[in-house]
Chain A
Amino acid sequence: MLRFLSLRLGRAALTIVLVVTFAFVVLRLSGDPAMLIMGAEASPEAIAAFRASWGLDEPIWVQYFAYFGALAQGDLGMSMRDGRPALDMVLDRVPATLALTVPALLIKIGLGIPAGIYAALHRDSAIDRAVMVLAIAGFTVPSFVLSLLLVLLFAVKLGWLPSGGNQTLLHAVLPVLTLGIGGAAILARFTRSAMLEVLNQPYVRTASAKGVPWRRVVVGHVLPNAMIPTVTIIGFMVGNLIAGAVVVESVFSWPGIGRMLVTAVANRDLAVVQTILLLVAATMVAANLIVDLLYGVLDPRLRQAPAARGGH
């Protein structure tokens, strides 16, 4: 178990380092922040001074090691725009993003899983077909299209809800719905196919053959097995809690991490972009780690595998 855990933690750390490295290199290759921030009319001397003050005149590998050296001490750098610590700026925005993504996640789970279970148990019924048509629509329509449709309907036509901003709770309704509907569709499809797979297993017939009432067969025998693949998708959604709302936040002018990322990339605000990516990578990796551990809890067959493999 310890070996399993340390192996996973090591891999998680490596993933984060790779993401940060990639972001570091790409950002420095794709444009000069000095030009963007100082403006086109800035004198060459001013730009040179700006570059020197942020260390941008150093070779890229020197900058890279300096960045990681600071990172090791918890220093994520300053925003070139605001001069504030990037980490503080980013963390300030986290609650706003979570205010959208957490309720959306609850909608995904609360709507998608029951819909998938119901559709699988009533396979080929009218409701199954309806659920699947909605699910396919829900996950093929991109979130920016869905959000525009919802704005047109509820904000422009009906006038029930605001189309953007974050002044009141009502402002959150449309972005949360946009995120929730798409995710629920994905989860419904996934849950349905996982359920159908398990419903065909011989042990389900065994349970019926020993006289277990159907409802208990579903709850006691089918669901625990069908949840194993579904947990993967939920884990992915949890990993996306920070980064999952980039498009929707932009459409609804919601002041979260996503919109900050878009602005920071446009401005080449290096420290801010890197900090956001680090945070996103860390949540993804953490969610994956939790899913891996959950697998062991849900499926006894996987509990022994790492130990057995670690035996030699």
Chain B
Amino acid sequence: MAALLSLRDLRVAFDGVATLRGLSLDIAPGEALGMVGESGCGKSITWLAALGLLPRKARVEGSARIGGTELIGAPPALLDDIRGGRIGMIFQDPASALNPVLRIGRQLAEALRLHQGLTGEAARAEAKRLLDIVGIPDAARRLNAYPHELSGGQNQRVMIAMALAGNPDLLIADEPTTALDATIQVQILDLLGQLRRERNMALVLISHDLGLVAEHCDRVAVMYAGQIVEEAPSDDLFARPLHPYAEGLLRALPRLTGPRQPLDPIPGTVPDMRALPPGCAFGPRCPRRINACRSTQPRLREAGRGRRVNCLNDTASPAASGTSGRMTGDAA
């Protein structure tokens, strides 16, 4: 299937420090892609860069195309049509992501006017319908509320409703539940999944929580130090991670079954982006480091069906491992 959106060698630098180091990614219509990594790994920057939402001092290179339209360096008017139109975005802290001095209804109506040309009563009716869709009770009255009068979960629902106002083909959810209670988290993620299926809308779920992403996404891209280190269908990644970093992330997850075991953290810390090691950025923390890792930067390479990995060590590919036969058999 043709990709809905393609990122090619996307790079971002702030004051000469590279924060995103050449990211390529395709998103198919209607698919749910998770992006995981520690804070600062570039998962949010990727989308802010693609949508032209980074501050002016950020230098953005590469390509981000949606339906043949190039977004990088596009004129503001074009970007304004895409933003909230073809691509919706919701953010981490819904309480501060909504304007505190404007009523909910007005913030929704603004998006509806921009992308559907609705004004007055028509906009209000549609805003109410959107609030109904995202499960806000008593929607008509809530239109007159200010963000501080709603709970965090309700504000995030308002954010989702606002993102839906333009009927986007792609919704980018940047840590949408990090600021919310656990029970509300589940509700919001279920809502996002349901909306995605109903509207055949692609979803990018950005999170530092691998478990959450694997549960709600078809495919996962694991990021480290401004690059994708592994990309795989969620089930495959969980069954057998190829990149040592992805493996480390999985091992650091607590297990819900079996005896209690101490968590197994990845040794070391995230590298300083101003002083990355000359070879692989993960090298210094890597249990499977080989000599080449010190001097050669790995490149993302194919590693079986729908899988890509960014590692020099061959053991990080199905062909070289013991289970390779089964894996290649599946791929054939």
Contacts and interface: CB of A to CB of B under 8 A. Distances in A.
B99 to A, nearest CB: 4
Interface residues of B, number: 33
B148 A206 contact: no
Nearest to B172: A209
Interface of B: 51, 53, 76-77, 80-85, 88-89, 91-93, 96-102, 110-111, 114-115, 146, 148, 159, 162-163, 165-166
Given A206-B91, A224-B102, A300-B146, A211 B114 contact: yes
A97 to B, nearest CB: 35
B88 A210 contact: yes
A208 B83 contact: yes
Interface in A204-220: 205-214, 220
A211 B76 contact: no
Contacts of A166: none
- Highest count of chain B CB atoms <10 Å: which of A202, A214, A224: A202
14 contacts: A203-B98, A206-B97, A206-B159, A210-B83, A210-B163, A211-B82, A211-B83, A211-B84, A212-B80, A213-B76, A221-B102, A224-B99, A225-B100, A300-B101
Contacts of A201: 96
Interface residues of A, number: 22
A300 B83 contact: no
Q: Is the interface of B mostly helix, strand, loop or mixed?
A: mixed
Interface of A: 201-203, 205-214, 220-221, 224-225, 228, 298-301
A178 B85 CA distance: 51
A203 B111 contact: no
A202 B48 CA distance: 12
Contacts, number: 81
A205 B89 CA distance: 10
Given A225-B99, A225-B101, A300 B111 contact: no
A301 B146 contact: yes
Contacts of A209: 51, 53, 83-84, 88-89, 91
Nearest to A214: B76
A205 B53 contact: yes
Contacts of B115: 211
Nearest to A200: B55
A107 B166 CA distance: 43
B204 to A, nearest CB: 13
A203 B76 contact: no
A252 B295 CA distance: 76
Given A211-B85, A213-B80, 4 more contacts: A203-B96, A210-B83, A210-B84, A211-B111
- Which 6 interchain pairs have the tightest Cβ spacing? A211-B84, A210-B84, A211-B83, A209-B89, A300-B146, A203-B99
- Highest count of chain B CB atoms <10 Å: which of A206, A212, A301: A206
A203 B159 contact: no
B83 A202 contact: no
B97 A203 contact: yes
A207 B91 contact: no
Contact of B99 (A207, A211, A228): A207
A267 to B, nearest CB: 51
A301 B99 contact: no
Nearest to A227: B101
A212 B115 CA distance: 10
B101 A224 contact: yes
B2 to A, nearest CB: 24
A214 B96 CA distance: 19
Contact of B110 (A212, A224, A300): A212
A226 to B, nearest CB: 10
Contacts of A210: 83-84, 88-89, 110-111, 114, 162-163, 165-166
A228 B100 CA distance: 12
A220 B148 contact: no
Contacts of B82: 211
Contacts of A208: 53, 83
A202 B91 contact: yes
Contacts of B163: 210
B277 to A, nearest CB: 33
A300 B76 contact: no
A300 B88 CA distance: 27
A298 B53 contact: no
- Highest count of chain B CB atoms <10 Å: which of A202, A206, A210, A224: A210
A136 B156 CA distance: 42
A305 to B, nearest CB: 10
A210 B127 CA distance: 15
Contacts of B76: 213-214
A130 B91 CA distance: 36
Contacts of B102: 220-221, 224
A299 to B, nearest CB: 6
Nearest to B77: A213
A51 to B, nearest CB: 59
Contacts of A298: 101
A304 to B, nearest CB: 8
B91 to A, nearest CB: 6
Contacts of B51: 209
A206 to B, nearest CB: 5
Contacts of B85: 211
Contacts of B98: 203, 206
B48 to A, nearest CB: 8
Contacts of A207: 99, 110
Contact of A211 (B81, B92, B97, B159): B81
A299 B97 contact: no
A203 B93 contact: no
A62 B153 CA distance: 65
